Every structure is written in C-alpha cells, then in structure tokens.
Amino acid sequence: MRLGIISDVHSNYEALQATYRELCRRGCEKIICLGDVVGYGPSPNECIDFFVEKNIESIKGNHDYYVNCVEKSVEELGVTPNAFRSVEWTREALAPSHKEWLDNLPFTLTRWDMMFIHAAVDTAEGEYWPYIFDIHSAMFHFYFQTTMLAFFGHVHVPLMFSCQKENNCPRPAIRIEKLKEHCFAEETERKFLINPGSVGQPRNRDNRSSSLVLDLETCTLEAIYVQYDFQLTCRKILKSDLPEELALRLISGT
C-alpha cells in the first residue's frame, strides 16, 4: 500500500486539493495528516469538509487545538500576534460542527508500527508545542521514539533526522538531512524522524506544497512538491480580515 503523508494544511484549500490530486495520481490509497488542518489560511470550513469527504485521517495540531481554547491570551498560547489574529478569525469562521471535529482529533497516532505526531511525542494534552528543528531537540525526541519510523509536522520544513537504534550511549550521533527519496528496507541500525513539510504554508523558501509518499511494501519514501494556485489563496486572504503578511508568506514560501 502507498501512504500519503501531509501536514500543516493551514486552511489552504487550493494547496490541499492540488496535493490530494497528486498523491492519488501516485497511487496513494490512504492519506494521513500530521495536524494543523486550520489556522493562517482563508478556507477552514472547506478544508475540513474535504478531509471528511476524502476520508483523510488527521491528528491534532496546535492551531486545531487553539480554536477550542477560547480562554487563553496571546501570551498564554505563546504565539505571534499574526498567529493569534488568525486563531480568532478561524474561531469566528468555523461552523460549530467543524470545531467539534477538530476537538475530537487525537494528539498522536500509532499505525503500521509507525508513530505520527504533530510537534512532540507528548504535548501534555496541548499544554506545550515544542519545535524539533535541530540535533538537540531531535536527540530528546529519539529517547521516546519506540518505532523505526516516526513522522512529525509543526516546523513546516521537509527534513529527516536519524540516529542509532540503541540509545545506550549518552549522546547518540544524529544526522539531519533534506527530505529526499530513501529506502528503509535495509536499515536495521537506525531510526528515523521525518517531516513532510507543509501543504498550506511552506517555510523552506519554496512556495510549492510539500508532502511525501511512503510505499509500505518496498519501504521507500519519496518527497513530493506540488505547484498550486497560491495567487487565488492570497486573494482570499486579502479579501478577508486576516493579516496581509499571511498572503506574503505564501508567495515567498517562508
């Protein structure tokens, strides 16, 4: 079976549709999302409807969590003013049934002997959302990764960490590399933590949507980049009350 793994759609309906089409064209029978279905973008309801219609399974990201966390301020959530404005806008825009759908998403999933997380193995039910972006933060994570493969989102950059399976030395050697085609079939000594990048708000200076395909039979991973109509998404942002900077980020891919 070929599995499509996406993350951080962020209410970007155009990017979601284009990515879904490409993953289907590449033979994916199942698609899993690593969270942040909503936030930042202009089409939260359309994206959730699409997830339900296409049976895309998701875990809960920090933005999915914030939508139902009405009592907390910018400081308490620890987000930027633009992110907070987008949380408020998304809360207003979302249908009540869609808020409930987000509230019911699990924080993590383990399937096919692989872990799927948004920010970290344990976010204390939404209390904190750390970033795994360097060797030190990855090292901390690997102590808790019990499977050979784990997938995470949140940083919006396609990348792959790996380290020796046996954590019997205090500072295991960790590698960090750009996400590219990789076959895990012969890998017996290392475990991997992989980020597919972001569908709806990439931050790797490439404005294409980013995702991956994992072939469970051949244990081969492929990074997928898809061009989509970002100008349409930008126009929708500019027509809404969302901060203008959120449109500029889609153009620059940052």
Stretch of 32-40, 69-77, 95-103, 232-240 contacting Fe ion, by CB under 5 A: 32-40
Handedness of CA 109, 158, 155, 202 (dihedral sign): negative
Cβ proximity to Fe ion: between 29 and 245 the closer is: 245
Cβ proximity to Fe ion: between 157 and 213 the closer is: 157
Among residues 32, 10, 196, the alpha carbon closest in space to that of 110 is found at 32
CA 59 to chain centre: 9
Under 8 Å between Cβ of 193 and 114? no
Cβ proximity to Fe ion: between 8 and 14 the closer is: 8
CA 133 to chain centre: 14
Stretch of 29-37, 76-84, 97-105, 205-213 contacting Fe ion, by CB under 5 A: 29-37
Per-residue x/- track, 113-142, Fe ion (CB under 5 A): ------------------------------
Q: DSSP string covering 22-88, please?
A: HHHHTTEEEEEE-S--SSSSS-HHHHHHHHHHTT-EE---HHHHHTT-TT--HHHHT--HHHHHHHH
Three-state SS annotation for 172-226: CCEEEEECCCEECCCCCCEEEEEEECCCCCCCCCCCCEEEEEEECCCCEEEEEEE
At closest approach, how far in Å is the CB of 34 from Fe ion?
Answer: 9
Size of the site for Fe ion (CB under 5 A): 2
Cβ proximity to Fe ion: between 22 and 36 the closer is: 36
Cβ proximity to Fe ion: between 86 and 162 the closer is: 86
Element at 110 (helix H, strand E):
strand 108-111
Stretch of 36-44, 47-55, 214-222, 240-248 contacting Fe ion, by CB under 5 A: 36-44
Please give the Cα distance from 150 to 144 (Å, whole number).
11
Place of tokens 């599995």: 3
Q: Out of 22, 36, 64, 215, which residue is the one contacting Fe ion (CB under 5 A)?
A: 36
Q: Report the residue closest to Fe ion, judged by CB.
A: 36
Neighbouring C-beta atoms of residue 108, cutoff 10 Å = 18
Cβ proximity to Fe ion: between 129 and 225 the closer is: 129
Binding to Fe ion (CB under 5 A): which residues in 173-212? none
At closest approach, how far in Å is the CB of 225 from Fe ion?
Answer: 18
Cβ proximity to Fe ion: between 80 and 218 the closer is: 80
Please give the Cα distance from 162 to 184 (Å, whole number).
11
Per CB under 5 A, 64 contacts Fe ion: no
Stretch of 8-16, 22-30, 169-177, 208-216 contacting Fe ion, by CB under 5 A: 8-16
Amino acid at 191: K
Per CB under 5 A, 8 contacts Fe ion: yes
At closest approach, how far in Å is the CB of 8 from Fe ion?
Answer: 4
At closest approach, how far in Å is the CB of 142 from Fe ion?
Answer: 22
Site for Fe ion, rule CB under 5 A: 8, 36
